[in-house]
Amino acid sequence: MAALLLEIEPGDEVIMPSFTFASTANAFVLRGGVPVFVDIRPDTLNIDEMKIENAITSRTKAIVAVHYAGVPCEMDSIVEIAERHRVVVIEDAAQALMSTYRGRPAGALGEMAAVSFHETKNVTSGEGGALLLNGSAWIERALVLRDKGTNRSRFFRGLVDKYSWVDLGSSYGLSELNAAFLFAQLEHASELTADRLRTWELYHEGLEGLEERGLLRRPEIPVEIQHNAHLYYVLLESLDDRTTVIEELSRRDIHAVFHYVPLHSSGAGRKFGRPDGDLRHTEALSDKALRLPLWNHMPESDAVRVVEELAAVLTSRVAA
């Protein structure tokens, strides 16, 4: 919907990190847009705001700020760059519901934001999401796009005597069952977030010793950020280390996974997009990131066991 509202046309460019899920790029590629991939910061794994300006051209229409792991990007800098170049900032806040940046909620920092309610998210309807609009200029057309390209919302509000097909659109609304399932969780979103933060802190404290020994690196959270504990990841020494650790943890009935294959190195990424500059951090860190299990109401004993088993695996590798 954001790509439709921006009226992305063939050849228009959209700046985004390569370290993200394919949906971030697909939205614009489907309209003929060209994803321009820039590197990520080594501390947060978010888009490097210092690399954005160099990627802007006369064809740039938007900057997509992906809030990885529920940690918002350096939004003040990104918005300032966008305003100077008159391009739109879209937040990919898929993972960031209930996170804040300098006291402001993620999703309210750019002109548009996409939130996900996929089954892997903190608050879920199984599938689906939301488009957040931070300006009245987009609202009327967004209502039409959401409702199959018709002006039915105007009909329901008594503004027209009948509704008809007036624009592009699709069935973007949730079913009533999905919406009901979601609504119950939204009512308790603060409690769910607090519960996940408890598990996140258990991991963070429990893994401090392994970081001090140089066996892994824990997430870094900027002081101006309050994250939502969407996920907990560690960075290992190499791709070989990560592969071995995943296999060893699986033998111990612990499901740990890697995250994104960088889009710029994928087949579709090479076909539809292009990298801007050196993406060394994207390439290096994507090989090292390991996601640990984390879910709503995860028992403390499970988190402690994950820490203990990960420590045992890493220590045995050092000893070998």
Per-residue pLDDT at 320:
63
Q: Is-catalytic flag, 121?
A: yes
Beta strands in the chain (DSSP E): 13-17, 34-38, 60-66, 88-92, 100-101, 104-105, 112-116, 129-133, 225-226, 232-235, 274-275, 289-292
The predicted structure's pLDDT at residue 264: 98
pTM score, whole prediction: 0.96
Q: Where does 62-215 have alpha helices with state H?
A: 75-85, 139-146, 152-156, 176-186, 189-206, 208-212
The full DSSP string for 222-253 is -TTEE-----EEEE-S-HHHHHHHHHHHHHTT
Name residues of the chain where pLDDT drops below 50.
none
Please check whether residue 99 is in contact with residue 72, taking contact to mean a CB–CB distance below 8 angstroms: yes
8 A C-beta contact, residue 236 and residue 210: no
Instruction: Give pLDDT tens digits for 130-189.
Output: 999 998 899 999 999 999 999 999 999 999 999 999 999 999 989 999 999 999 999 999
Residues 179, 73: Cα–Cα separation, whole Å: 29
Q: Which residues face 233 on adjacent strands?
A: 291
pLDDT of residue 317: 79
The values of phi and psi at residue 68, to 5°, are -65, 135
Active-site entry in 51, 121, 148, 271: 121
| Equal CATH topology for 2-186 and 189-319 | no
Phi, psi values for residue 13, rounded to 5°: -110, 145
What is the enclosing helix (H) or strand (E) of 50?
helix 49-55
Domain 189-319 carries which CATH code? 3.90.1150.10
Confidence (pLDDT) at 136: 87
Non-local (6+) Cβ contacts of 275 within 8 A are: 18, 36, 37, 38, 264
pLDDT (0 to 100) of residue 1: 95
In the chain, where the domains are located: 2-186, 189-319
Give domain 2-186's CATH architecture: 3-Layer(aba) Sandwich (3.40)
